Structure 1
Amino acid sequence: MLLLLRCGKQFLLKRRQQIHLIPRTIMSSTTSGNGVMFQLKVDPLTGNSEWIVIQEQEQDDFLSTNNNKQLLANTCYLDMLNDTPRNTAYRNAIDSTLLSLNHHHHTHVLDIGSGTGLLSMMAARAMGISSSSSSSSSQSRGTVTACESYLPMLKLMKKVLRANNMDGKIRLFNKRSDELQVGVHMTSRADVLVSEILDSELLGEGLIPTLQHAHDNLLVQGYKTVPYKATTYGQLVESTHLWKLHDLFSNEANVADGIRLVPKGKETILRVKQQQFAMHCDAMSEEIQLLSEPFKIFEFDFSKRPDSHGETQLHVKATNDGIVHAVVSWWVLQLDEEGNIFYSTAPKWITSPFQHNGLTSSYSSNRDWCDHWKQCVWFSKGKGLPVSKDEDVCMDATHTEISISYEFKAQSQLSETDHHDFRPHDSHITLSPERIAIYGDKYWRRSMLDAINYALKEKDSPLCVIADDSVFLTVAVAHLSKTSHIISLFPGLREKGAQYLQAVADENGYSMDRLEVINASKQQWTMSDTHQKKVDLLIAEPFYFGAEGMLPWQGLQFWSKRTMLDSILSEDVCIMPCKGILKACAMSLPDLWRSRRALENIEGFDHTMVNSTLGACGGLSSSSESPCLPFFTWQCGDIQKLSDECTIMEFDLLKPLSSCQGKAKVEFTEAGVCHGFALWIDWVMDSANNIIISTGPDRRYWKQGVKLLGEPLIVGKNVSGICSTVIEASFDSSSGELSVKNRL
């Protein structure tokens, strides 16, 4: 299991303890100064983590194993390198910038966060440090210094440099830029800075502190930089979908089940973090009503030392009547000083919004779908801000070193929740937007309550163990059964969960003397842990805090917990869910497949040697399998289902954890091009198989596992198309790993 810190980005590796991240993969790493890599490995079944020490000589072997190849496959590198508009813009800007310098002057270029070395090689080529040179800087008009803090990526960069005859022509350091010293690592201050330390929000990868340190310590006065400038833009929107992702109080008020996860006066006790969330807004464009024209927010000039803090007040005219549920934002890069080369992360509904600002034809808003840079969404508080056409909306925007935030001036009078801001911060629980939407979904809640009532049937004073991080199940059981004793494991929430249960007890009609939270880290339980009573109900959603962005079978942690408790389960114990069903369907995913296809020549540089390690599809040997990766498939650009759903195998949660395998024949029901399969788990909550919680592609609040094919298949019920295929899966109970293969 891997924890993604957008590997290779120096700032996050330095500050991973200070920044809250929703993990997207299940392993992270850092390095010491002596060539040792520390790998954080998280067990997918127990959730327990440990740091593994990997010596320098072991690292190539470590990355060559199948399980650990997913380490880099889960990063954004492959998607970034397949972004042709990005690559071309950087190449043109680097060539233009270096061409403008005095040819008689020896130019020093610094590449921060060098990744595979693409920008470094572009700079070296532009300065005549060509692959044919017998040595590097001595026979050319320049020097390139590159730093890459993520050691596995630095290993890959060395392979790329070697394959392109650039080995030894670029000074490469396994360090963060703030660890570089002029006179020690760099012979002189650099004249030109090239970098790509930008995230979807722009600032989240530490752009500002990195530039500040470089300006003060590593760059000459009057240095050049690529990119040159960035401007953030925004637009006010109304969207019911976006509203449901954060306003649990209003959505819960429309549900008549008597359970209040966010009681009146405590509306923010369960909440999303106040931040911008990266999303593919094009996928929801038909559900978004635009309430303003695009407006400029901040401009960052990278040729100057950036400020750590900035504020601006905007007056935005509403273009329609509606409710401002969110601000959708994006940025536009100006890569060259002359203003000829641009790159934008704008949504596709922004066709040519900046022509009046003088942007040239080099700018294109119709970039290909890519996952490494999305748009960002900032949620308006509560029910949102009602506006009328032509009304002036006053909005304050603030940026720190790593984030941008917004505040509506008029909202304190118009938003109901602002009057009931719950202050005891120790009781707050911050959840993902999708988890907030699930807890506010009346259909999901009804299914869960039906399952709980079924489980409680004919149980007198039951002992119920909640084996996951579900505050909903804990509150619901306490609310529905006045005689039950409840033990919540809360492996992720822990003490935070206990504080929350205490805070909402009165509004939900239960007493805390019937509830307790027990440390879930132990590997075996005895009757002394349950007050000498056997467990009558063992239930979960399943949901594990911090694992929302991972592969859907992460929920099989519940199977491990059920096995751990096996010796203290009663003979007639009710286990919920009682079964997990691994399901799949064939899909056309042209945008996603293109973004992960095998790399060849990128702006004149061979990258074929990184394909296997980065988990590319297409053009590889038949024995090379692309990994399953977690995606919201509905946000993956152009998509189409090509088959009915099929069952690959079942996990019998009534029995202890065991390895299992299965396969299914997939019959194609639609003609088209199959790029892979979406995989997910349907959780069967009751023994009668009547209550099923699906996490499939039609459910927007869960990520699916996506298994891309090595090569796309033309499929369908016709002469030229393949009519069926077989998909196989095996689950290893010792490691918690699920492997998936396709057999034609």
Structure 2
Amino acid sequence: MRCQLQTLARIVSVVRTYAGGRRPSSKAITRTMSAKSTGLMFQLKVNPISGNSEWVVIEEEIDDVSPEPMLATTSYLDMLNDSPRNRAYRAAIDRTVSKHCHVLDIGSGTGLLSMMAARAMSGDDLSSSKGMITACESYIPMVKLMKKVLRANNMNHKIRVFNKRSDELEVGVDIASRADVLVSEILDSELLGEGLIPTLQHAHDKLLVENYKTVPYRATTYGQLVESTYLWKLHDLFNNEADVDDGIHLVPKGKESILRVKPQQFAMHCDALGEEIRLLSEPFKVFEFDFWKRPDSHGETQIHIKAANDGTVHAVISWWVLQLDEEGEIFYSTSPKWISSPLPNNGLPSLYCGIRDWCDHWKQCVWFTKGKGIAVSKDEDICMDASHTDISISYEFNAQSQRLEVDHHELSTQDLHITLSPERIAIYGDNHWRLSMLKAISYALKGQDSPLCVIADDSVFLSVAVVHVAKASHVISLFSGLGDKGSQYLRAVADENGYSMDRVQVVNTRKSQLTLNDTHQNKVDLLIAEPFYFGAEGMLPWHGLQFWSKRTMLDSMLSEDVCIMPCKGILKACAMSLPDLWRSRHALENIEGFDHTMVNTTLGACGLSSESPCFPFFIWQCGEIKKLSDTYTIMEFDFLKPLSSCQGKAKVDFPEAGVCHGFALWIDWVMGSTTDIVMSTGPDQRCWKQGVKLLAEPIKIIQPGICSTVIEAYFDSSSGELSVNNR
């Protein structure tokens, strides 16, 4: 009993920590914790209205008929629908696994690779196997789902499942002996981000015999230099802002890195950029990682690249090629479509999965060059240093020998940096967006002498813009996500933007509620947001409705003639043909001979009369896409009134033939009732993710102008969830 109480006390402590305002990283929006001694299981979720992270109890057993697809936000379904990947793994496992070996499967997921190994070990007669299979999976809901898959395929007695990280397994305690064969799929788009190197190191040292075999056998990363104005705008706010004449300096000279993207590779579907990318080199090899030996945590190499054209290098696009078998005949690549052969100068191997379907779990990666980029001439030799840690790969160009167009007045490492997403950097550097925001602010503050303005989100642009437009205004920035960093930023750029900090105040509402004591008993004249909430960039567009919640909490502090911006949000929808996205999230049946129908509800699959939840996607990166209808208004959110539940629907007509796989959904933010300024987050705007609702079954439009459907939505103000249905 004492042990149970101590466990619960630890859980309560963690709950309080997250409820107190610590936001998980974007990769950890959903996290699970088990209290084994109590039989309880908790999952960390972000409340879309409050923005707080909170632990919720989830059921001990996963129920197929549960309306809650608890693993829908993961990439498991997309990965399991990747047929070239599945075929390559099956072929390699069949070649590698022998009858009497011990196979260790790290990061087992649904157990697909373990079942492939069991079949390879015993052939058609599963009862004849003399070997052993150990499956290791740390994510509790997936472990429970895997056990259901194993039972359905009569494999539960052949595979021993451990709900542990592989570095928690002990030979002589958990498993009787070291394994002869390692099978794994712990790769992300960059290759190393899921902990491949430390996992292989520990397995080599503690879990595997000498001269063990592996599937995959080897991975090689490749790169290519490219020119792209779009990619440049995703990171170089300083030079983009220099072309904007509005008097606002988010990144003043000498402080170019105060707002920046994280120096890392960013996963992106580069094929979607099409003609906007100009290739400036041939592909080049970067690193090779052998799975069959202990990898190094750090590595460096210098690469000399011959420029194929004149131009400016804005980015390095990279991908990897997986050699799955020792013989070098089975390959899988994440290369972009313009690469005819992923193995330069070597030709296509016999079992190479060359034509890869669109999938979202593995993309290409983009590394931005500094500043305006590197000007190069055709046939020029470019020197690039590449290095890797145990979790990432980075690049650096030799500035002495290259014409690197970047100012060298950046802040030292001891100074403040706020890292933003590439899309947020592009928005802040967009001239049209900035002018529209300034115009809206000017309308709102017209005729006001010394207004009190509250910035109800994490927009550093609005905080600077309001004091720029209204010289006598007093600004309070809530900065619920940026917190103290936001306050330090406003102080750092005050001189260059002509304001003093006695006019600007930051109140972190995660720590305290804004009261009249903070405003010296003055009421709010302007309540404004973009809306943008730091750390929520990857979420659904209606998570911006946090603004409505904050407006409601501040209701008693608003003046009678307060201006609220945006004053309204409009939920819009458009019917879409999305064949690639549909295929990647379609309900599973048989994968390389193994039944997976029991995972569909839990993974949020569409098809087989089942609709999927709404997912956040950049529509323009979803492979083949086509609009099949006009844009429709589903419902409106009135921010002039306190938060409330609401619903709406629209009849959608199809004016042309095609196949409708679902709907793109987004919010248009109406910035003022007396202006025509609307900030749209629709599919034509690349810097915002849209919500995607895939249908239970695609609608085939054979007779345009006759076929129609109805889409309806309900917003629950208590939970902040927005449900969308089609009928």
Aligning the two structures, in what range does the TM-score lie when normalised by the shorter sequence?
Answer: over 0.9
Partner of 1:59: 60
> Does the 8 Å CA contact 2:440/2:675 hold for their aligned counterparts?
no
**Structure 1 position 739 matched with structure 2 position 705:** no
Partner of 2:310: 321
**Structure 1 position 729 matched with structure 2 position 713:** yes
What is the aligned-residue identity percentage? Answer: 76
Task: Identify unmatched segments of 5+ residues in structure 2.
Answer: 1-17
**Structure 1 position 661 matched with structure 2 position 655:** no
> Does the 8 Å CA contact 1:426/1:499 hold for their aligned counterparts?
no
Q: Which amino acid aligns with 1:59?
A: E
Partner of 2:197: 208
**Structure 1 position 288 matched with structure 2 position 277:** yes
Instruction: Give the superposition deviation at 1:22.
Output: 5.6
Quick one: structure 1 residues 108 and 722, their matched pair in 2 at CA, closer, same or farther if it must change by over 3 Å? farther
> Does the 8 Å CA contact 2:23/2:52 hold for their aligned counterparts?
no
Q: Which amino acid aligns with 1:300?
A: F
Partner of 2:433: 444
Partner of 1:618: 607
Moved more, 40-49 or 124-133: 124-133
Question: In 2, distance between residues paired with 1:61 and 1:207?
Answer: 29
For 2:542, which of 553, 561, 571 is the aligned residue?
A: 553
For 1:709, which of 676, 695, 710 is the aligned residue?
A: 695
Instruction: Give the superposition deviation at 1:528.
Output: 1.6
Q: Could you say what secondary structure the match of 1:419 adopts?
A: coil
Q: Could you say what secondary structure the match of 2:611 adopts?
A: coil
> Does the 8 Å CA contact 1:669/1:716 hold for their aligned counterparts?
no
Given the two structures, how large is their TM-score scaled by the length of structure 1? Answer: 0.92
Partner of 2:117: 123
Question: In 2, distance between residues paired with 1:722 and 1:493?
Answer: 50
Query: C-alpha deviations, 1:658-687, integer Å up to 9, x for none?
Result: 000000111112210100000000000011
> Does the 8 Å CA contact 1:22/1:547 hold for their aligned counterparts?
no
> Does the 8 Å CA contact 1:412/1:418 hold for their aligned counterparts?
no
Quick one: structure 1 residues 412 and 722, their matched pair in 2 at CA, closer, same or farther if it must change by over 3 Å? farther
Question: In 2, distance between residues paired with 1:366 and 1:599?
Answer: 21
> Does the 8 Å CA contact 2:23/2:53 hold for their aligned counterparts?
no
> Does the 8 Å CA contact 1:22/1:549 hold for their aligned counterparts?
no
Instruction: Give the superposition deviation at 1:360.
Output: 1.4
Runs of 4 or more, structure 1, over 4 Å off, are: 19-22, 32-36, 61-65, 129-132, 522-525
For 1:341, which of 322, 330, 336 is the aligned residue?
A: 330
Instruction: Give the superposition deviation at 1:36.
Output: 4.2
* Residues 483-502 of structure 1: pairs in structure 2 closer than 5 A: 483-502=472-491
Q: Could you say what secondary structure the match of 2:719 adopts?
A: coil
> Does the 8 Å CA contact 1:560/1:657 hold for their aligned counterparts?
yes
Question: In 2, distance between residues paired with 1:600 and 1:413?
Answer: 54
> Does the 8 Å CA contact 2:62/2:141 hold for their aligned counterparts?
no
For 1:157, which of 143, 146, 149 is the aligned residue?
A: 146
> Does the 8 Å CA contact 1:24/1:550 hold for their aligned counterparts?
no
Instruction: Give the superposition deviation at 1:449.
Output: 0.5
Q: Which amino acid aligns with 2:97?
A: L
> Does the 8 Å CA contact 2:382/2:402 hold for their aligned counterparts?
no
Question: In 1, distance between residues paired with 2:111 and 2:595?
Answer: 11
Instruction: Give the superposition deviation at 1:184.
Output: 1.0
Instruction: Give the superposition deviation at 1:553.
Output: 0.1
**Structure 1 position 599 matched with structure 2 position 588:** yes
Instruction: Give the superposition deviation at 1:129.
Output: 7.6
Q: Could you say what secondary structure the match of 2:31 adopts?
A: strand
Partner of 1:671: 657
Instruction: Give the superposition deviation at 1:53.
Output: 4.9
Q: How many residues align?
A: 706
Partner of 1:11: none
Partner of 1:79: 78
Question: In 2, distance between residues paired with 1:167 and 1:354?
Answer: 39
> Does the 8 Å CA contact 1:346/1:365 hold for their aligned counterparts?
no
Instruction: Give the superposition deviation at 1:357.
Output: 2.0
**Structure 1 position 254 matched with structure 2 position 214:** no
> Does the 8 Å CA contact 1:245/1:437 hold for their aligned counterparts?
yes
> Does the 8 Å CA contact 1:660/1:732 hold for their aligned counterparts?
yes
Q: Could you say what secondary structure the match of 1:60 adopts?
A: coil
* Residues 541-580 of structure 1: pairs in structure 2 closer than 5 A: 541-580=530-569
Q: Could you say what secondary structure the match of 1:360 adopts?
A: coil
**Structure 1 position 88 matched with structure 2 position 87:** yes
Question: In 2, distance between residues paired with 1:30 and 1:726?
Answer: 40
Question: In 2, distance between residues paired with 1:233 and 1:290?
Answer: 14
Question: In 2, distance between residues paired with 1:404 and 1:570?
Answer: 53
Partner of 2:13: none
Instruction: Give the superposition deviation at 1:192.
Output: 0.1
Task: Identify unmatched segments of 5+ residues in structure 1.
Answer: 1-15, 134-138
Quick one: structure 1 residues 701 and 124, their matched pair in 2 at CA, closer, same or farther if it must change by over 3 Å? same
Q: Which amino acid aligns with 1:196?
A: E
> Does the 8 Å CA contact 1:270/1:428 hold for their aligned counterparts?
yes
Question: In 2, distance between residues paired with 1:722 and 1:276?
Answer: 47
Partner of 1:27: 30
Given the two structures, how large is their TM-score scaled by the length of structure 2? Answer: 0.94
Quick one: structure 1 residues 194 and 353, their matched pair in 2 at CA, closer, same or farther if it must change by over 3 Å? closer
Q: Which amino acid aligns with 1:727?
A: I
Moved more, 329-338 or 456-465: 456-465
> Does the 8 Å CA contact 1:345/1:365 hold for their aligned counterparts?
no
Question: In 2, distance between residues paired with 1:411 and 1:329?
Answer: 24
> Does the 8 Å CA contact 2:335/2:342 hold for their aligned counterparts?
no
> Does the 8 Å CA contact 2:373/2:405 hold for their aligned counterparts?
no
Question: In 2, distance between residues paired with 1:40 and 1:22?
Answer: 12
